[in-house]
Every structure is written in C-alpha cells, then in structure tokens.
Structure 1
Amino acid sequence: MTDHAAASVPAANTPAATSADWAAAARAKLAGNGAELAARFDRNEDIDTLLRDRARAVDAIVREAWSQCIADDAKLALFAVGGYGRGELYPQSDIDLLVLAEPDAQAAQHDALARFFALLWDAGLQTGHAVRSADECTGAARDDITVLTAVMEARPLVADEHDLRALLHAIDTRHAWPAREYFIAKREEQRVRHARFGNTADNLEPNLKEGPGGLRDIQTLRWMALRVLGQRDAQGMIALGQLGADEYATLERERRALARLRYGLHLVANRREERLRFDHQKALAARLGHVDADGNLAVEQMMQGFYRSAAIVLRINDRLLQRFEEQLEGEVAPESIDDTFELRRGYLAARAHEWPDGDTGAVFALFATWAANPRIRGLHSQTARALAEALPTICAYTDASPALRKQFIALLRGPQAVETVARMARLGVLARWLPAFAQVSGRMQFDLFHVFTVDQHTLAVLRNIAGFASGTPDERFSIAHEVYPRLRKPELLLLAGLFHDIAKGRGGDHAELGAVDAHEFGVAHGLSEADTELVAWLVRKHLLMSVTAQKQDISDPDVIQAFAREVADRERLDLLFLLTCADIAGTSPKLWNAWKDRLMADLHTATRLALRRGLEHPVAAADRIAESRATVQDMLHSFAIDADEASRLFAQMPDETFLRARPDQIAWQATVVRGSQPGGMRVSARTLNAPGAARVGALEVFVLSPDRDGLFAAIVATLDRAGLAIMQARLFDGPDGRVFDTFEVLPAEGQRMIAAEEVERRLSAALATHDLDTIKPVKRNQPRHLRHFRIAPQIGFSDTADGRRTLVSLVCTDRPGLLADVTQVFRAQRLRVHDARIATFGARAEDVFQLTDERDNALDEARRDALRAALLAQFDGDAR
C-alpha cells in the first residue's frame, strides 16, 4: 500500500527515539503550531486557512505515529473522518479516525494498532477511532446514521484511491440509508436538536456548533446535498439549480463568521468548548477586536453579529430543506390562489419568475395573501430566495408612498397581524421598512434580565398580545382576556409593542427615543393625532406600571392616586396594563409568575376604581378602612361569622391591615385569628388566589405570632431553607402584642414548591424554638453566571414621612439566599424589620426595608453607618 503524501515519513524499521520521546516531541510540535495559528488568528488571517493548516499539522503527526507503529506492507488503510475528514480542525477539537481492514488484517495488526492509538493519545491528540472491514462499515452505517455521516466525510491519510472507492462503495445508498430515508432522518435530527435549545438561536449562552443556526446546520445541508444530490461541493448544487450563487455566497460568509467565533472560543477557553458562555464572552469579544461604545458594549456587538449570522443560516436552511424535499418527492401541480400567487406543495409561491420586480407593494401583497390563507405551510423556497434578493429594493417607510404606508397599516389590522409581523421580521422585510428595527435585530443586552435579543423579545411581546386577542384565557394572565375586548383599536397596542424597545442601544433613554420614533411612524402612516399621541405615550411610559407595582406600595391610596393621575383615563390604563403584562412575560420565561400577575391585576383594579371615582375625589384613609371592614364583614358570612363576632375579630387586628391589604386577604387572616388562642402563635399558608397561581406554585404565608426580636430573620431563614424565595413581605403590629406578617413566596430557582401544609409545619416548628438566633440560612455557592454580572452595592437611607422609621434601600447582585443573609445582618445589628419590598430584575436585586432600632426608633447616623459597614462586609464576602 502506498501513500504519495507520506514519502518523508520514516520507515517503521528506522532507528528512532523511544515512544515517550517521540510523543513529547509531537506534543511540542503541536503546541508550537497552535501558538503560531493563534497569532495568525489575532492578525485576522483567513479562518479557512487556519482550519486547514491545523488539520495539516495534525495529519503530519498522525502519519508519523502510523509509521512508528504500522509496517509498510500491512494491509490497512487509514482515513480521517467527520470534521477532521473535512479538513476543518479547531484548536481544541478531537480527531476521528477510521482504519479500513479485513478481519484477518485486523487480527494480525491488533497490537500494532493499539500502540498507534496509544501513541496519538500520548502526543496529546484526543482520538476517536474505529477499525472496520468494508462489510462492517456497511453494517455500522445501517445501524447508526451518525457513523454513516462521519464516513461520508472520509479523507485518505494513509490510503490509495482503491481504498477510498471501497469505503465509499460500502456506504453507498444501495447498502445503507437511501437518499429519502437519510433526508427524513437528518431533518428530524435537526428538529430535535433545535428543540433542545428552545428552537431559537437567541440564547444568552448559545452553542456555536449545535444550536439553531450554528455550524451543525450548515454541515447538515452539506451532508444532505451529498446524499440526496450526490454533490460534494456547492458548484454542483448551483449547476443543478438547487442553490443560487447569491445563497452560496451568503452561506459561506456566515459559515466563516461562525467558524471564526468557534476558533476564538477554543482559544480563550483553552479547551474544547462549543457553548459561548458568559465566562468567555468578554474575553472573546476583546480578542476579536470589538471595543465598547456608548450604549453598545463590545460583547453586545459580538453577540449581535452571531445572532444575525444564525438568523441568516436558518433562513437559507429552511429554503434548502424544502428544495431537497421537492427533489425527492417530485413535482406536484400547483394550486391557484389568484393571478399573482399559487400553492406548490402547500407552499405560497409567486407565479411570475420575475416577482417582485422591485415592487414593495407586491411584497406586502404576498404577506396579505399568506395571512388570509391559514392552510399555507410556509413560503416556497424559490419565492423566499426572490424575496431575499429583492430586500435591497424595499424602501424604508420614510421614502414610501402613502399607498404603501396604507398597505402596511392594513397588514396590522388584518388577520394574523402578529404572525405577519413575525414573518416580515424573520425574512428581513421589517428591517427594511422600519430601519430602527434593523438596529435592534440580533441585539442582546449583557445581563440576566433580558434573555432574548431585542427583536426576539419584541416578537415575544407581540405573540403575548396575540394570545390576549385569541379569546382563549391563558392561565398565566388572570384578567388580560377580559381587558383586551374593550380595546377601541387593537392595532395601537401592536404598534406600542413593536416600538417599546426599538431604541435600545442608542445611548439615551430608550423609552423617550422610542416614543419619538413611534410618533414619526404614526404621523407618516396617517394615524389620527390622538392615536399617534396614544401610541407614543405608551412607548414613553411602558415601564411605568411595572415600576409602580414592583417598587412602590400599591396598597397605599396615595400611590394609586398618583398613578391614576399619570394614566388619566381608562383606555390608557387598559392598553398600558396589557402592554406591561406582555412585556414582562416576554422578557424571560422565569420572570412572569402568579405574584406578578396578581400585582398587575391589583394595580389595574385599584386604578380603575380611582378613575371611576374621579381623580378629584381621593379616598381618605378612614374611608378606606371603613369600606374594607364592611366588605370583609360580608365575606365572613360564608364562614358563619356574624357582625358581632367579626367586630371582635377586627379589634384584634391592626387598623393598617384594613388600609393596606386586600379584602380576601383580610378575611382569610380573620379566620386564622379566630382559630388561634389569645396571644398565641399560628401559621397559615394558601395558594395565591389568581388563575394560574397553582400552576407556578405561588403561596401566601401568614404568620400570627407574639412579637419578639429575631422573629423576621427566623421566618426568612426557614423559608429559605425550604427552597422558597420571598417576593414580598408585609409586616404589621397587632393591638395585642402580636405581629401580622404576610409573605408571598415562589420556589427558588431550581427548586419545586412544597405543599402549603408543609410550609405551615416547618414554620410552626421553627418559631416554637426558644432561641430564634439558632435558626440560620443555608450556606450556598454562588451560581457561576452571577460572577459575570456583579453590581456594585448601593445602600441608601431615608426616614418615613412620619419620621418614626428608617427606609433602607438596597441595590446589589442577586443570589440564592440573599434576603436571608441580609436579615441576619439586621439581626446582628439588633434592628427590627417592619416592612419589606423585594424586587429582582435578572441579576439585580432592588429591595426596600422599613427598620427601627430595638426601641422602635428611626436609626441615627451611628446606627446607619454601622449597618452600611456590615452590609458591605457581607457583599464583599460574596465577591470572594
């Protein structure tokens, strides 16, 4: 057996250094090659050259090792397979080898092959290998499509053309995986793989190789072309009309961009790493030459490039899969829709070959036809390609005629409006019509709060709005399906959703800048002055309701009155409420929960009542208390509690409860008081009373207990040990020396909700402890990802309006057990907690506490300084 490329390799019987010496020299040679290639990478040398040169360096080592172990006359052939077979080798990639040999040769060379593979490992090459005969290759390929795919990439290392033909014959479509079966299997494999990543490339830590739009998708297209069309290169596909020259150029451009990211990732991670983790993002962005700019971090620039590349790969992937399917299934007579469009195999296609011929109106007509025919499977690949080629001819709305602008607004008012916008975004049309959207396409924010790119978040918000419009209640939202039908013009809500984040990354207040964009858009598209101002107001104020509900006390009539004055009327309230719910739920799957649903619903209800009453007639505290007492008294009738008994129960409860709490909450707490011993302790827990609460496992926990120092810290520590995260705490002092403490809790990340009865049992047992200071929170390791999003602690002090308590505001990096540790600091400082509002935004905790000293006085300067120092010491410990 001969190999023209191995002429310089020493013969097996040539005197040579020991295997250990050879392996050490090989390791040094590979390390030197890696360092040289890394330097060339940093000089921005062509990525394909780097990949090829790495493969060549490894080829030389592999061939040398072969000559050290295998005799020239051995009846063996050696092939590189998989990615190594393609000649693409990344710095930390392993290599896959196949030895082709008949059974007798395998037996004769068993020990020599063992030495060969061991020598490669000693040289530092992580090697996957197989030794098979031609028949065994056929059997393995039949059994495992992955084996077949790897062998399809076979490249001779120590083999001749006869060996290569024998190998390829062994895996021919006549013997294993005919073209149609191979295509169906690989398409399903891709579907499953995409689902594993949530069917989106827009993950915060995307997988460059396996994720949607990653390198594996490009490789899959290559494998399908090889198996279905018998074409090993793009030129053959172009000649067959299966791939356009423009598509090939685009796909190659994005492949090189992704390959460069992957190569750089291997360098900064210094190990085989395919996931672009937070640990490596900043270092990789710097290595690639990105520099922080105003409102646009280097890491965000790099990630935007990735997301855009992945989106383009997915577009072309969809087209080619459809063409492969057509190649295998054959032609089917088209079904006419109208004079312009038809269905081909269920896909929407333009009849005219020259469509759209530079006509933006024809493009909008395509989307209108698509929306009007729900049975359409998608866009036909040839029409999708024509649309992609026509993108540069699509004008921005600022340059468009009134007729085109009218067409666009008609799409927003027509059927499947949200799906139409999503299609236009996915296919690149929306970014042409609305240039501001192009700027946020693929734009990520380097934090844990926004888990999607801005464009994908926007589409998620619009999909939530579509859910409100469907008429089918969504268990996540308790009243949204009731509010939506009252909207005068639903398209105004869609426009607000489209523009609410469109100015992200411009270096200013994105709400204010987005409002300007929305106003200009409304004027240009012929919206009335009132409607234009309404959309602009929604964009400008899209964070108002969320901030009010999560950072202020919405049980305070003054807070409601101020919010109602800002909103001013019922239409704005309904629109802002729906936009807020859709926005929060579209920011992160973990962000929306039953507590936030009820919080927003409560704020909506309270504001609606304030608007109905009239802003000139705010409710006085005394009137609010009297009204609550009357409402709760009626509710207690269902518990067989008459008016006299209700009055006796109310006398044992804090007046502030009737001012701050919801009637259903007060009634529940009254029944707990009824079942307790005078001056005794009792714990009760229940599911939050909002639809969807049981699904997400939210609980309301009520602790009725004689007051004593350390009580709040003990409760928080016990809930923390139970795997529960506190969303809100409300602490009231009762007239009989007992405290009325209410906590709204959810399972902490990675935990599951325990039953209400179990919460009651654990808290009751803990609070029966004589020495509450023995109850400590669990010590936990900080999650890996939080290390990259550290926030400098901010601690602020102010007094309440009456001067009796001190408000302590705390902004810091969130982590499991944070609140429990903070309360331990309060306890160590001998401070009392009277109220707590807990808000978390990704990795950012923003909490507010009402504190006094042990004599129930506001904190003086000395106590404030001591508390600040103790908290900073706690956070300094977190950082280490």
Structure 2
Amino acid sequence: MTETSLETTDSGSGGYAADRLRLLQQQTLTGPPLRAALARLTDSWLAGLLGRTRDIALVAVGGYGRGELSPRSDLDLLLLHRESADGAQVAAVADRLWYPVWDLGLALDHSVRTPAQARRTAAGDLKVHLGLLDARHLAGDPALTAEVRATAYRDWRAQAPARLPELRESCEERARRQGELRFLLEPDLKEARGGLRDATALRAVAASWLADAPRQGLEEARALLLDTRDALHLTTGRATDRLSLQEQDQVARRLGLPDADALLHRVYRAAHTVGYASDATWREVGRVLRARSARPRPRRVPGGRGGWGGRAGRGGFAQPERVPLADGVVEQDGEAVLARTARPERDPVLPLRAAAAAARAGLPLSAHAVRRLAKAAPLPVPWPPEAREALLTLLGAGEHTVAAWEALEAEGIVSRLLPEWERVRCRPQRNAVHRFTVDRHLVETAVRAAALTRRVARPDLLLLAALLHDLGKGRPGDHSVTGAMLAREVAARIGLAERDAEVLALLVRHHLLLAETATRRDLDDPATIGAVADAVRHTETLQLLHALTEADALATGPAAWSAWRATLVAELVRRTAAALAGEPAAARAPQAPGPGQRLLAEEARRTGAPALTLDGGELLLAVPDQPGVLPAVAGVLALHRLTVHTAELTGGPVLAMRWRVAAEYGEPPQADRLRADLARALEGSLDIAARLAERDAAGRGRRRGTVPPPPSVTVAEGGSHDATVLEVRAEDAPGLLYRVAHALEAAGVWVRSAHVSTLGASVVDAFYVTDTDGAPLDAAKTAEVVTAVGSALG
C-alpha cells in the first residue's frame, strides 16, 4: 500500500471504513508504521467530519494522542470550545462527530469541554490529566489545543510533588490487582506490572522534570508490547489486552515467531525492562521529593568562609552522607552507589562485590552504578576466590538478593558472568504450579535456600545448587541431566575444587529425586530406600539434597510443598540416612492392621457391609472382599471431591484400606454419607461412571488453554523387588483414579498400594501391583496391564 492510499477515498464514513479494512488486512505494514498509518487515516476522517468551525477544536488524547492507534483501540477524543461558543452549535458538532464513530462500531471515549473545564477536570482526575499530557491537535482552532496542552504541562510540573505520589500509588494498586506481567501465563499487556500503563506512567514522570527513567531498551520494550497488542487485536478481532493461552500461538505466527513460548519470552523480557525502569524511576522520584521536603542545614568547617564548611556543596549546604559498604561501594541517600575512587574497568570483581554489598545492606543498586558496572573488565577463568565469595554472599542475602540480581540482569551483567544464564532468562514455564519464569525461580530458590544454610555442612554448595538446579531448562533433553553437565562447567569457571564440582553436579542431577520418590514410591519397600542411597552416596550430600528439595518446592509455589509432602520427604531422608550409616533395611512384611482397622474389620465381617472412619485426612476402611471394591472406593471419593494422596491395601476375607485424603474445598463429607454411597456403589445402584462423566463434561466447557499432552503409562524398572510399579502421568480430571482402578480390577491384578502426586493440572500416580499370588507381574501380563490402563485413560 502506498502512502497516498492511506488517505480516505471519499469524505464519508464508508470510504474510511473501506480504507481502514484494507490497511489492517495488508501484511507488509506492521508495528509503529501500522499504528502511525492508522492514526493518520483516522485523523483525516475525523477532520473531515468536523468540517469548518469557529471557536472549536478536536483533540486526540491518550494513546491516540501519541499517534499509537492499535487496530481495536478506543478513540480518545476531546472536543474543545471557547466559553463564547454557541451551545447549540457545539452540540451539533459533537453529534456530527460521535454518531459516525458509533455507527462504525468503533469504541469511543469522548468529552466536550472548555479549556477551563478541562483544567478543572484534570485537577480532580489523574487519568484525565495524564491524557492531556499527550494531547494532539486534529482539526479546528489550534490555539485552543495549544492552550490546553500548555496548561496541562504547566500544572503537571507545578503539582508534581503531590501528583507523582498519587500516580505511584495507582501503579502499585494496579500491580497488586493484576500481578507482574513477566510471570503470568495469560498476562494483561496493558494493566499488569511492567505493561503499557507503566510505560505511560514513566513518560508522565519524565514530563514532570523531577526524574527520568533509565532509557536503555525502554522504547524498544514499549514498542514490542504495542506490537503484541496489535497482533492480538488482529487475531481475535476484539479490543482485548489479555494474551490468553489459546490465542498465543496465533499471535506468535502473526509476529513471525515460531511458537507461543518464543512470544512469551519476548514479552517477558520487555516487561522486565519496563519494570526495572519503573523501580529505578520511582526511587529517584522519592529521593528528589525527600530532598525537597528536607530543610538544608549548614555545617561548620574550620577555616571555611565565615566559619562554615565541612563537605559543603553549592550554596554551602552539606551533601548526602556516603557510608562505606564494601571496597568501592558506598551508601548514599538510600541506595548503593560506587565510590568516587571505584574503577570498574580495572576491577572485574566489582559488579559482584557491589551487588553483594547492596543485598546485605538491603539497599537497591542505583541505576547509574549498574550502568557503570556493565563496563567492568571480564573476570579471569577460573574466578579468583574473592569473586566466588562475593557471589555466595549475594546468594545468601535472602530476599534482598532478588533486587540486586535483577539490577545486574538489567544491564546484561549476569549473562556475561554466567553465559548459560541467557538461555533461561525470562523463559516461561507452562505449568500452573510455577509462579515464576525459570530465571526468577532459580533466584527465588536461592532466597529460600539461604534460610536453610544452618541445616547443612556446606552452605556454599547449597546456594550454588539452588541457583543452577534448573539451568538445563534452556537446553533440549532432560533438564536434570543437561543441568548436571552445565553445573560442572560453571563449577570449573568459578574455581570450585573437583570434589565440590562433583557434589554440585550430583545435586543438580537429582534435585527432583527426594520429592518424586517420597510422593510416588512405597517408603516401606527396601528397594525404594536402596535406590535413593545409591544415588546420593553420602550423608552430607543427602542433607544438601533435602534442603535443596525444600527450597525448590517453596520457590515453585504453594501447590508444590505442603506439610504432607514435607513429612514424606523427611521420612525418606531419615530412612536413607540410616541405610547410608550401614543399618540393615528390614525386608518388607505385610503391614498388620492397627487397632482401629481391626475394629472396622470385625464390624464389616459382622454386618457384611463397609465400615469406615474419617479422621482429619486419614480414611480407614474395611470392606468384605468382593469384585470392584477399589474402583468403587476411588469413585465415591471422587464424587465427594476428596483428593487422594496415598492408598494402602491389605488383603484377606475383609479388605483393609488406609487412605490419605484432602477435601478439594470446604469441609470433608460426613463418614455416614461416604459409607452409604459406597454401599450403593458396591450393590450397583450408584452409577459412578455416569456421574463422573457428567461432571467432567460440565468442567470441560469451562477449561481453557492448549490441548494437554496424551497420558502415559510406564513401568518403573527396579522400583520394587516384590511388586511391579506402574507410573501413570496424565492431565488431572474427576475420576482419574477411578478409571485406573477399574482398569486394574478388570485386568485381574492386585493393587498393593497407590501413591498419588498432583502438580497443578497434572498427576503422576504410582501403583504397586502384583498377581493374585502376590508376585510381580511377568512381562506379558505387564504389557497387557499397561495397555488396559492406557486405554482407560483415553
């Protein structure tokens, strides 16, 4: 499309609509040129609608005022008129403007005001005042627009000490409500922290002349977010700012990206840039406002003019005190800054030393200091001990580590120190359990690990493992295996001893071992304990792995760690430590029913009906042996929305079961209701399959997002000496355990125990199964059972 074709083909709305459609459908114009062309096209149409008028001006404000018109953006318009203008004429002009816009179905945010009214409205409404800062004349009397714009800027600068704190509070409140863009799987590109509204707020701060944002990469980040919103509007045909899961692949293709992950990665990096600039800018605003409100007090210096002196600046007033923090690093006015004598280009350790000092003091690194640190000389390989110690000090500083680390990231310093980091920086994790991107999760794990260093003999290795444990997620293949290789490379670069490097690699390789084993394997089986002991080899390493497991889970999110999981992991560690100490592992013996189970078994024998108790999260159950018991129990628990964690079964004339369960929400059901429904299920009057299918159909309509991968059923080779261990991985759904149990029952195998682990929308369940004689399944039977369970999962 040529430049001349961007003008409307006639003065009517039909011509504008046709030209607008052609503009949006052609593929060669994208990004800022597309937004500018759409704004010019709309300017020309609106100017034609206004026609020749006196004492009236049409003004674009907000995003349209900036000439950044996205395909489905609102038209933010202000119709200005002089006090002396005829009211009827103004109303007629407004109708001539607004109705054609509405007739085309375009969103319109409009107002009609005199310059004085516009000024009064802006004084009481922050949003209006911000919009006027972007006022742009479209048509009519240009003097009116110039008057309103000049007044808006003059008032903004005069009122900045009051208005900027108001703007900051609105940004913080919005962040609390919408979350941080770069950690959201379905981010709001405009409202979330680090989004377009924050970028606009930074422009307003700059307009106040009080402070300015770090400029590097900021305009590119804002343009990328705008480009993404344009593609979202064109993909959906709606005025939306939320980048939902089901639309991300289409938006990515429209932007020429391979997939949704590449899209999120770019969006997250842009949001990180805007967020960092916001933090630095608001700190500077606070510093300036504090300085303005403080009364300067002269200090006496011997021999100075008039007897006054000291460290005096212009006007004879004292400069902010500089308190040493570390070699080359001082505190000044609430920030960590570089000392006047610091020379980053000659001091390669200074970036780490400065970040460590800032984190230990709980201070932000000043943006100016970080820009200077980016010019530091490269560290020699291997690193000198001082650099390694500074890194460990930074990682061990607790919650203040995050801000210092992200300050280094903003200028690319982390990726220069650890080139492997670039592959995980702002990398999305498509798992609802994870709160953060991969890079932020690694830093958060170090924060959590810092609180656990008193529990281990080598806190340095714990902190390094926390930082590196998911580094392999930036490469193809098993991230634990790849991560172990990368950990060895990092260890050599930073100068770790060979034995320490091997321990570090082992921690990274097995960082999931304890959590997965504890929740998916039978801890009473000697093979389980033996496998963990063979992997960790030393008690000191086991302690480190225990602390790393807890830190990793806590940094992941609430769903990844609970009192139940913590108890299971601690018990696994206790038994493994005993095995490493040489204590013989007892062979698995049939578990004898406890007193409560014996009473329930006696009641079941006497009545011929199920007997059960539900105390907290423990369900004890006794049922006369008959076909279909396990599927019936699993189905009834699913109907009552009880999540199963573990299940243990003891055979005999009466089946004894011990289940660990938790209510999905609310209070657990009464034991009498469970007993009655279980009796109905066993006698066939309760159609569990139909009830669960009905609930699944209702929930399917509400579920959104990408299609989950198909379920898998595998055999854990060596998982047990006296049972076959089946591992089921699938998308969580009502009655999943019921379907698996039904398939195992139909296959004619005995389920000795089940261990259920739910992580977000996915489950990983382990079933210890034997034949009817209590022996592990042979190869043919195992293949038959795997096929049957896979078919049941669909």
Give TM-score, length-normalised by structure 2: 0.83
**Could you say what secondary structure the match of 1:572 adopts?**
helix
**Could you say what secondary structure the match of 2:486 adopts?**
helix
Q: Are residues 1:444 and 2:444 paired?
A: no
Matching residue of 1:321: 282
Alignment of structure 1 residues 315-714 onto 2, 5 Å: 315-330=276-291, 333-338=319-324, 340-352=328-340, 355-374=343-362, 376=363, 378-387=364-373, 389-390=374-375, 393-396=376-379, 398=381, 400=383, 402=384, 404-408=386-390, 411=393, 416=397, 419-420=400-401, 423-428=404-409, 429-448=413-432, 450-469=434-453, 485-612=454-581, 614=582, 617-622=584-589, 655-657=590-592, 666=594, 669=597, 678=606, 681-687=610-616, 699-714=617-632
Matching residue of 1:28: 18
Q: Are residues 1:92 and 2:72 paired?
A: yes
Pick closer, same or farther for the CA change 1:460–1:753 going to 2, 3 Å: farther
In the aligned structure 2, how far is the partner of 1:262 from the partner of 1:597?
A: 43
In the aligned structure 2, how far is the partner of 1:759 from the partner of 1:529?
A: 59
In the aligned structure 1, how far is the partner of 2:176 from the partner of 2:720?
A: 56
Matching residue of 1:739: 655
Q: Which amino acid aligns with 1:454?
A: V
**Could you say what secondary structure the match of 1:32 adopts?**
helix
Matching residue of 1:3: none
1:153 Cα shift? 1.6
In the aligned structure 1, how far is the partner of 2:757 from the partner of 2:218?
A: 44
1:604 Cα shift? 1.6
Indicate conservation of the 8 Å contact 1:723/1:747, yes or no. yes
Pick closer, same or farther for the CA change 1:323–1:866 going to 2, 3 Å: closer
In the aligned structure 2, how far is the partner of 1:718 from the partner of 1:132?
A: 66
Matching residue of 1:765: 676
Indicate conservation of the 8 Å contact 1:135/1:170, yes or no. no
1:86 Cα shift? 1.0
Query: Over residues 116-142 of structure 1, what are the superposed CA-to-partner deviations in whole Å (9 max), with x where a residue is unaligned?
Result: 323212213111222233343234323
Matching residue of 2:29: 40
Indicate conservation of the 8 Å contact 2:382/2:494, yes or no. no
**Could you say what secondary structure the match of 1:337 adopts?**
strand
Matching residue of 2:298: none
What percentage of residue pairs aligned between the two structures are identical? 29
Pick closer, same or farther for the CA change 1:219–1:283 going to 2, 3 Å: same
1:49 Cα shift? 1.7
Of the three residues 58, 66, 76, the one matched with 1:78 is: 58
Q: Are residues 1:300 and 2:261 paired?
A: yes
**Could you say what secondary structure the match of 1:701 adopts?**
strand
Pick closer, same or farther for the CA change 1:194–1:398 going to 2, 3 Å: farther
Query: Over residues 163-194 of structure 1, what are the superposed CA-to-partner deviations in whole Å (9 max), with x where a residue is unaligned?
Result: 11342366466599811111101111222222
Matching residue of 2:301: none
Matching residue of 2:311: none
1:367 Cα shift? 2.9
Of the three residues 183, 188, 206, the one matched with 1:207 is: 188
Q: Single out whichever of 144-153 and 712-721 deviates more from structure 2.
A: 712-721
1:783 Cα shift? 7.0
Pick closer, same or farther for the CA change 1:563–1:372 going to 2, 3 Å: closer
Q: Single out whichever of 275-284 and 571-580 deviates more from structure 2.
A: 275-284
Q: Are residues 1:136 and 2:117 paired?
A: yes
1:456 Cα shift? 0.9
Pick closer, same or farther for the CA change 1:670–1:382 going to 2, 3 Å: farther
Pick closer, same or farther for the CA change 1:844–1:135 going to 2, 3 Å: same
Pick closer, same or farther for the CA change 1:567–1:221 going to 2, 3 Å: same
Matching residue of 2:101: 120
Pick closer, same or farther for the CA change 1:138–1:826 going to 2, 3 Å: farther
Q: Give unpaired runs (5+ residues) of structure 2.
A: 1-6, 293-317
1:91 Cα shift? 1.5
Pick closer, same or farther for the CA change 1:583–1:65 going to 2, 3 Å: same
Indicate conservation of the 8 Å contact 2:190/2:197, yes or no. yes
Q: Give unpaired runs (5+ residues) of structure 1.
A: 1-7, 11-15, 42-46, 230-236, 292-297, 470-484, 623-654, 659-665, 688-698, 876-880
Query: Over residues 199-237 of structure 1, what are the superposed CA-to-partner deviations in whole Å (9 max), with x where a residue is unaligned?
Result: 4622222222222222222211101222345xxxxxxx8
In the aligned structure 2, how far is the partner of 1:506 from the partner of 1:871?
A: 30
In the aligned structure 2, how far is the partner of 1:458 from the partner of 1:350?
A: 27
**Could you say what secondary structure the match of 1:788 adopts?**
coil
Q: Are residues 1:285 and 2:203 paired?
A: no
What is the number of residues matched between the two proteins? 748
Pick closer, same or farther for the CA change 1:446–1:867 going to 2, 3 Å: closer
Indicate conservation of the 8 Å contact 1:101/1:132, yes or no. yes
Q: Which amino acid aligns with 2:339?
A: R
Give TM-score, length-normalised by structure 1: 0.76
1:535 Cα shift? 1.6
Indicate conservation of the 8 Å contact 2:591/2:650, yes or no. yes
In the aligned structure 2, how far is the partner of 1:157 from the partner of 1:681?
A: 80
Q: Which amino acid aligns with 2:420?
A: A
In the aligned structure 1, how far is the partner of 2:402 from the partner of 2:205?
A: 31
In the aligned structure 1, how far is the partner of 2:23 from the partner of 2:228?
A: 20
Indicate conservation of the 8 Å contact 1:412/1:491, yes or no. no
Of the three residues 813, 831, 846, the one matched with 2:764 is: 846
**Could you say what secondary structure the match of 2:148 adopts?**
helix
Of the three residues 179, 188, 197, the one matched with 2:169 is: 188
Matching residue of 2:3: none
Indicate conservation of the 8 Å contact 1:85/1:154, yes or no. yes
Indicate conservation of the 8 Å contact 2:725/2:766, yes or no. yes
In the aligned structure 1, how far is the partner of 2:717 from the partner of 2:479?
A: 32
Pick closer, same or farther for the CA change 1:667–1:210 going to 2, 3 Å: farther
Matching residue of 1:691: none
In the aligned structure 2, how far is the partner of 1:196 from the partner of 1:802?
A: 49
Q: Are residues 1:311 and 2:309 paired?
A: no
Aligned residues: CA RMSD: 3.9
Matching residue of 1:62: 46
**Could you say what secondary structure the match of 2:118 adopts?**
helix
Indicate conservation of the 8 Å contact 1:746/1:753, yes or no. no
